[in-house]
Structure 1
């Protein structure tokens, strides 16, 4: 049996990574696993993981020969044809806070949208993190196929028995001393800033924030992988650029608070129960002109929505009181979006694949 994996168009990451690790941990013979890898990411794949360069004829041939395809995004390669009888498992890459696909205010050209719709038509199974996630993803993609409402495999580590040990290991790797408050800043991308060559300064002065927070805090900067061209502050000291860290789930465990904006990271981080602050410096532009939201952010986010850096800094300096004041809405958010995140999502997804008649080993 041949299984082809894709995450973020050529990375070893996200739900496919979690599923791949859970699958291969079971052992067994007769299964060939092959990952699509971008040239920039090929060196980051673990030893022993077979790859094929994405965007090449070899990649198209691999897709068309696969018995199982697992991806967390659209596969856009020369309008490849899925083999009859193959199973295409689409995990997607987050609960959509920002509107996506045909729900979004920002639309790509018609030919690109048609290619994306062609890919959606190939999906046999769609993994969703919650009943609300199912509703949102079905609506965005006009998807009428089968859904696996299991929770997200990438979040299993956040509830795993070894999560405390993993947190300690990652913090040690990052040089975070005992008692240091780790502030993870993980913003999403802006469609009008994502193209290479576009001047895209950070919306947050992370250096100034770190100085205000003092010696007992470190800001961990995790920019979206679409924003590799975005200007970054000098690393070291109380600001660390963790964009190259392999698995953001480890950073969720290491962090003590998440600062984000319109990223689906808030849905994942909420599994940890730790505070979340929403820094929405361009709220009106993003909400009203660029993307739009699937929920009322200011009323339903799991933490306060802060419109300027001074308000964000004040909230971080008074974090216990802010978290206590937000406890009710945080609990409602978790119940709505994270109730299935119990550490067993990978197991449920794989069992569903075996139910398709595929060999489990």
Structure 2
């Protein structure tokens, strides 16, 4: 055992920089686990600024001064935030409320469909199983309706906290963009003066994560926007709510698309029944998913090292278990960052000389 541990230490931690970087990664992970909820606005602002920095860099390459590029990008971000808060968010909330109000009718139609299953497939589906599924669905729908009704004066503290975040996040994003070099240099002064390995890993992580995060943000907007237009043209109810879910589903490859297909199919079925309109909705949804996976993703992520599907599922399970919903949301960027770190990590292949005891 001692020989194995000594071999691993010699192979992966023979470089002093590697030891320092490992300690920094461990300390950073512990810090985020303990103080992540407290510093959520700062972390969210840092991620948003990281995404917007790519657009600032492109404007700089076109000859636009950096400060003017930062102001222009920040104004676009602020306009998008205002449009989301006062345009898209009220529409989504209205559709969620309408969906909750129609829950009894949907549950009634679902019961009708479920009651037919034991008659058509008596060997596969029993009446007891149908009653159990129906009871679970009714309970969950009742909880959702009760939560929507109870969203009143008792939620004022959460609304106030949300308003504080809405004010803090844009301010932090602006200063992260404006003083990016100052902040990076302040952190760099705490590191060893000679750090070629850290610089190489930083460039690799920055390239992979920047391409992935910015590409994902653009993919969410494109997929969500195209889905909204398609559903509106086809007369699909709750188009804004469903398009938001479809757009966010691309954050988790494979799993997200499979999960979001269920509410899309259910709402389409309850709205149109087993008819041609329902078939057209599902065909349009399938075409969007196919174009996203086979055309849009290769274009947006041509420079990103693809993760194996098993690695994606493990990352979602692991980070989701640690940080809940936020862990699921950022599982793939974190896995991409870890893969970039491992790819650039210095590895010494030579075997260490035996000790005297050996």
> Which TM-score bucket, shorter chain as reference?
under 0.3
**Max radius of gyration: which structure?**
2
Structure with the bigger RCO (C-alpha within 8 Å, sep 6+) is: 2
The structure that is strand-richer by fraction is 1
